[in-house]
């Protein structure tokens, strides 16, 4: 797994992909995984370390989240790249 920081390091230990978080749950971003372009895209949306994310709902293969006071829709594939705890 190509993470911003390797999963074996403390901040990503026991991290859960955002795609597995249930509706109504709030979590904190631990790291963002994937290719550099994917990581940059997600980080630019606000998925940065310790950012609080609340899952609003899941619809049509997208995850709708609240992040920094804004609602965002990200695909399940992208949500799998955001590691949370």
Which strand ranges, in their side-by-side order, compose the sheet holding 52-59?
A: 16-17, 82-84, 26-32, 52-59, 62-67, 70-75
Closest to 53 (Cα-Cα) out of 85, 11, 81: 85
The answer as to whether 4 is a domain residue is no
Domain count, the chain: 1
CATH number assigned to the domain comprising residue 69: 2.30.30.90
DSSP the chain: --BSS-TTSGGGTT-EEGGGPPTT-EEEEEEEBS-HHHHHHHHHHT--TT-EEEEEEEETTEEEEEETTEEEEEEHHHHTTEEE-
In a domain, 1, yes or no: no
pTM over 0.75: yes
Q: Does the structure show a pLDDT above 80 at 41?
A: yes
Give me the domain span that covers residue 67. 10-84
Q: What is the mean pLDDT of residues 10-27?
A: 89
pLDDT exceeding 90 applies to what percent of the chain? 84
Domain assignment present for residue 47? The answer is yes
- Looking at residues 11-33, what average pLDDT do you find? 93
> Band of the pLDDT at 8, cuts 50, 70, 90?
very low
């Amino acid at each position: 797994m190509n993470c911003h920081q390797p999963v074996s390091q403390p901040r990503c230990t026991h991290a859960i992909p955002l795609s597995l978080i249930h509706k109504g749950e709030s979590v904190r971003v631990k790291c963002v995984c994937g290719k550099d372009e994917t990581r940059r895209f997600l980080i630019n949306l606000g998925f940065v370390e310790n950012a609080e994310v609340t899952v609003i709902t899941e619809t049509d293969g997208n995850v709708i989240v609240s992040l920094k006071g804004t609602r965002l829709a990200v695909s399940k594939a992208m949500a799998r790249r955001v590691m949370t705890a």
